């Protein structure tokens, strides 16, 4: 008897006991005497089962299994909470601890259950995390794409999917809040509007609301969207009303005049906020296009002009654009239609990138002030006059490319000083002109000559190697000219620290294979392994190669080698050169540093040529159907014996 029942009057306890007994007897008589409905009978039986006899409680009368079921039913029907049941008494607390729920599953399996429920859209993350603390903890430990990948990598993935037209940005933003925040954080994604023939007008509305800065790309020829019921160029028409807010304008192509005349370009306002203008080479001049260019005022804060189309360069490179040219940092211009000398070089005070094609640059006096000498970082001149560079020093220039120069005689009398330049490219005749460019920090050089006189090319190349000691410090060299491989063998001996070499040979001669033999590495001993069976020979060969100290007589630090012939290599030539190329790839793999890539462009000099990497041992298996190991052993041993004196 409990303490509470001990303090109560005995008459009250007796009345409760008699009432309980009568209730049990009533249920028993009701079930046994009367013919009740089966459902009523089952309910009465359950009541009798749950009413303990006199002198017993529910803890001692009901079995533990039934107690668990009662507790589970009360919890799942939200009648009671587990904490309330466990706080009644010690026995109930013990029963609650023996109940096996989903929380007793391993946390790894629980995560899988939650992921399946979320991915099948049966439950949301917030609903699962709000059930209990344990579920909240399990949800926080789930590694999803949102928690395992940093936001920067998520942005790159989304950008790749959008640019490859696999999915739209709106679809990605509608997945979840985190994805929406990632999409919204990609300002360049929202700030750029690509206008094609069938671009949806809804994109223009969203762009006007969210984009800052506002960048526009006009390219109807490469429109990836399918035709719709909307009129052509409807999005372009809607966007013309906001030209005063455009910050960048890129035009890859423009509609023809008979189509664009229906748009009403006259409604566009001046582009007073335009900073960058890029016009591709494929654009064609038309009255509507000219009207669009006239919307750029001379007061616009332009800092970049990329004018690959000749007629656009003629429009902007005029004296009345002097205020705009002073603030330019990037100027790329095609001067094919500019017949007069371009005398605006002294106006550039902040220019950092200057690329010109077929632009006539005049000769300036030595005392002429050219501010771009102290600001230029990249210079590329193609088919332009270069006499204005003679005797001048470009203090900040890092990359310089002189392609097919005109009026180069002045440079031979007054050298060009490039103290900070690390990459120099020179394509022209005579090749010896490049030695008049003083580049003390040069690490990469691209040298090309289209001179058909092979003997003269050889003389220029020898003179260049002997007179210019800076070539011996190069780490990257790209050469294209017509000369014998014997000259190449003499040149590469000067290039000890070279790490990257790209050769373009016009007509490979029989000495080409001798040149390839020279590039193969040699072992430190001439004692070959002696093995009995062929399989043991292969294993012993690999062990022997690993145990040797390999060395190369030329280009010991070479990591990348590329060989290309403008007219292509035929299949027979590829098979003849194959043993020598495999010998280079096999033997130089044991050097320090090893040769990482040996690419040879095979074909007939077309766009369909394939680059074969001969450092890949699977090439033989794929193309010739033979074992690379068996052939490599024979090839390497034969070539080393052939090229090593006294063997």
pLDDT digits (tens, 9 = 90+) for 170-209: 788 888 888 888 887 777 677 778 888 777 777 777 777 7
Q: What is the per-residue pLDDT for 173?
A: 82
CA 616 to each of CA 499, 521, 561, 589: distance values in angstroms, whole numbers, following the listed order: 19, 17, 14, 11
Q: Does the global pTM surpass 0.85? A: no
Q: What is the per-residue pLDDT for 354?
A: 95
d(C-alpha 545, C-alpha 530), whole Å: 13
Q: What is the DSSP letter of 393?
A: B
Q: What is the per-residue pLDDT for 34?
A: 46
- With a CB cutoff of 8 Å and minimum separation 6, the contacts of 14 are none
Q: In the predicted model, is pLDDT for residue 138 greater than 90?
A: no
User: What are the DSSP E strand ranges found in 547-606?
Assistant: 560-564, 597-602
Q: How confident is the model at residue 268 (pLDDT cuts 50, 70, 90)?
A: confident
- Rg of the chain taking only CA atoms, in angstroms: 42
Q: In the predicted model, is pLDDT for residue 533 greater than 50?
A: no
Q: How confident is the model at residue 324 (pLDDT cuts 50, 70, 90)?
A: confident
Chain centre to alpha carbon of residue 221: 25
Q: In the predicted model, is pLDDT for residue 277 greater than 90?
A: yes
Q: Which pair of tokens denotes residue 613?
A: 């990497």
Chain centre to alpha carbon of residue 505: 33
d(C-alpha 128, C-alpha 114), whole Å: 8
Of 37-41, 344-348, 476-480, 525-529, the one with minimum mean pLDDT is 37-41
- Whether the ω angle into residue 32 lies within 30 degrees of 0, i.e. cis, is no
Higher pLDDT, 312 or 191: 312
d(C-alpha 581, C-alpha 58), whole Å: 90
- With a CB cutoff of 8 Å and minimum separation 6, the contacts of 8 are none
- With a CB cutoff of 8 Å and minimum separation 6, the contacts of 6 are none
Q: What is the per-residue pLDDT for 417?
A: 93
pLDDT digits (tens, 9 = 90+) for 567-611: 777 777 777 777 788 888 888 888 888 888 888 876 655 555 667
Using DSSP's 3-state secondary structure scheme, residue 594 falls into coil
In 310-324, which positions are buried (b, 16+ CB within 10 angstroms) versus exposed (e)?
Answer: bbbbbbbbeeebeeb
């Amino acid at each position: 008897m409990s303490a509470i029942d001990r303090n109560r009057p005995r008459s009250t306890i007796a009345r409760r006991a008699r009432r309980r007994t009568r209730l049990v007897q009533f249920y028993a008589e009701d079930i046994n005497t009367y013919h009740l409905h089966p459902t009523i009978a089952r309910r009465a039986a359950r009541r009798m089962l749950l009413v303990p006899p006199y002198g017993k409680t529910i803890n001692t009368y009901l079995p533990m299994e039934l107690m668990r079921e009662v507790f589970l039913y009360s919890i799942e029907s939200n009648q009671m909470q587990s904490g309330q049941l466990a706080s009644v008494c010690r026995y109930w607390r013990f029963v609650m601890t023996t109940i096996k729920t989903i929380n007793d599953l391993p946390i790894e399996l629980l995560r899988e259950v939650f992921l399946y429920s979320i991915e099948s859209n049966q439950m949301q993350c917030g609903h699962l995390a709000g059930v209990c603390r344990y579920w909240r903890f399990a949800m926080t430990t789930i590694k999803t794409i949102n928690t395992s990948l940093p936001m920067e990598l998520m942005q790159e993935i989304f950008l790749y999917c959008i640019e490859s037209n696999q999915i739209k940005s709106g679809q990605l933003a509608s997945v979840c809040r985190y994805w929406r925040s990632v999409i919204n954080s990609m300002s360049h994604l929202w700030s750029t509007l690509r206008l094609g023939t069938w671009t949806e007008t809804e994109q223009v509305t969203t762009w006007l609301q969210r984009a800052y800065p506002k960048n526009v790309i006009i390219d109807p020829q490469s429109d990836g969207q399918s035709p719709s019921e909307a009129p052509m160029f409807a999005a372009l028409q809607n966007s013309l009303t906001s030209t005063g807010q455009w910050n960048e304008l890129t035009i890859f192509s423009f509609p023809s005049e008979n189509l664009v005349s229906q748009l009403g370009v006259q409604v566009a306002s001046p582009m007073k906020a335009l900073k960058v203008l890029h016009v591709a080479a494929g654009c064609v001049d038309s009255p509507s296009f000219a009207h669009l260019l006239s919307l750029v005022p001379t007061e616009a804060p332009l800092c970049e002009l990329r004018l690959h189309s000749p007629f656009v360069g003629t429009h902007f490179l005029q004296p009345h654009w002097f205020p705009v040219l002073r603030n330019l940092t990037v100027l790329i211009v095609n001067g094919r239609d500019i017949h007069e000398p371009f005398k605006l070089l002294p106006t550039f005070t902040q220019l950092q990138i200057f690329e010109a094609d077929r632009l006539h640059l005049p000769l300036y006096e030595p005392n002429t002030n050219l501010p771009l000498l102290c600001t230029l970082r990249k210079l590329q001149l193609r088919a332009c006059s270069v006499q204005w560079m003679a005797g001048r020093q470009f203090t900040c220039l890092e990359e310089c490319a002189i392609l097919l120069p005109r009026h180069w005689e002045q440079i031979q009398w007054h050298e060009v000083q490039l103290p900070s330049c690390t990459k120099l490219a020179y394509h022209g005749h005579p090749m010896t002109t490049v030695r008049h460019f003083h580049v003390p920090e040069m690490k990469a050089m691209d040298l090309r000559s289209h001179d058909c006189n092979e003997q003269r090319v050889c003389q220029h190349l020898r003179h260049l190697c002997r007179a210019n000691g800076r070539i011996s410090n190069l780490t990257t060299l790209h050469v294209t000219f017509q000369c014998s491989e014997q000259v190449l063998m003499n040149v590469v001996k000067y290039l000890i620290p070279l790490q990257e070499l790209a050769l373009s040979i016009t007509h490979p001669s029989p000495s080409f294979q001798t040149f390839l033999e020279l590039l193969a590495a040699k072992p430190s001993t001439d004692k070959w392994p002696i093995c009995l069976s062929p399989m043991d020979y292969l294993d012993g060969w690999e062990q022997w190669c690993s145990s040797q100290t390999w060395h190369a007589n030329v280009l010991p630090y070479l990591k990348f080698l590329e060989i290309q012939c403008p007219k292509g290599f035929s299949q027979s030539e590829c098979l003849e050169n194959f043993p020598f190329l495999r010998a280079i790839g096999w033997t130089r793999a044991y050097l320090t540093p090893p040769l990482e890539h040996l690419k040879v462009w095979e074909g007939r000099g077309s766009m369909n040529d394939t680059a074969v990497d001969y450092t890949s041992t699977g090439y033989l298996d794929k193309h010739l159907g033979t074992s690379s190991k068996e052939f490599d052993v024979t090839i390497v041993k034969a070539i080393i014996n052939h090229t090593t004196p006294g063997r």
